[in-house]
Amino acid sequence: MAHLIASQVAVAVPLGNDLSLKRTALKVSNLNFQDKSWALVLTFDLKASNSQLRSLRVTCMSVQQASVPKVTVSPLELEDANEPPLNIYKPKEPYTATIVSVERLVGPKAPGETCHIVIDHGGNVPYWEGQSYGVIPPGENPKKPGSPHNVRLYSIASTRYGDNFDGKTASLCVRRAVYYDSEIGKEDPSKQGVCSNFLCNSKPGDKIKITGPSGKIMLLPEDDPNATHIMIATGTGVAPFRGYLRRMFMELVPKFKFGGLAWLFLGVANTDSLLYDDEFTKYLKDYPDNFRYDKALSREQKNRSRGKMYVQDKIEEYSDEIFKLLDNGAHIYFCGLKGMMPGIQDTLKKVAEQRGENWEEKLSQLKKNKQWHVEVY
């Protein structure tokens, strides 16, 4: 019964350290924010030994504002700067922020675990959509005894106002990095991603050292509010696009009233691996003329050749339309693992040749026009 509730009711996690993810009980309460009524709040134990509880899929805060057209944000002074903030805090002098919440994003059939992590920076580390934070995990760098770990960069998955719309938090979308040993047929606990596991294991109130913000490549161009934005992501690469879409469709931002087209292509393994799907599905319902959403589920869908459906196959499926949009000035963004780009480039080159175009020349022109945005890791 609890699983049924979790799959149908959006989950909100309010600020404050009194909510501990160590609880194994289900808490149901009401939340008022900006004088608006929000849906139920459900919190689950992400570290409980109960396997059924751990398998619950948690939906991030803010999806449940279905009765509210758009959410008021503050402080609006965050709109005043003409240039994005850059490297306010550096590795030698990082900012100590606080973990607000850690939520499992994926269902039980997803390969691996991906978490949504909200960090309270108190408004001291402002950022723009599309930027990244650096995270310095605790402990000593094994390659440099006595020195801290190197900085790990994570794309920010929220707007500049954060999940609580007050400009004091930032959200990260983090997949737990583990090593699967094929010889023993299970994970090797001695080989884990240092920073991703630190983040996914964190609990409310824990301290975290952050640097940045950094990055200008993935900033959302806002000079034309009616522009077309084609967003292509694999897995956690959807992080910056979640920020874009919240700014376009969820927040009431006086200086940015989006009237263009946002088209998201998201590639993951299966339905349980979809990230922020409830948010995106809501935009599709509320803004059908301004948002399109296509999923490539490699373990559940087949492409035209009856092979696995990857994000490049979806691009090829809509290639004529995509090329026409690019010819008319659309911006195209790619974010995810490096391995996504060769297949996508091959697909785009093949389509260009079928259209009688030279892909290298077209790509050069897209870059020159600042329509081409890539951030892979």
Residue ranges for the known binding site for NADP(+) are: 155, 175, 236, 298-299, 308, 336-337, 375
Contacts 24+ apart (CB under 8 A), 138-143: 138/198, 138/209, 139/194
What Å distances lie between residue 284 and 7, 245, 281, CA to CA?
Answer: 19, 11, 5
Q: How far apart are CA 174 and CA 238, in angstroms?
A: 11
Annotated binding-site positions: 155, 175, 236, 298-299, 308, 336-337, 375
User: Any idea which residues carry the catalytic annotation?
Assistant: 154-155, 335, 375, 377
Element (H, E) at 152: strand 152-155
Distance CA 297, CA 299 (A): 6
Helix (H, G, I), strand (E, B) or coil at 315: helix
- 319 Cβ partners below 8 Å, 6+ apart? 347, 348, 351
Q: How many helices (H) and strands (E) does the chain have?
A: 9, 19
Task: Please choose, from the candidates 300, 302, 269, the residue with its C-alpha nearest in 3D space to the C-alpha of residue 112.
Answer: 269
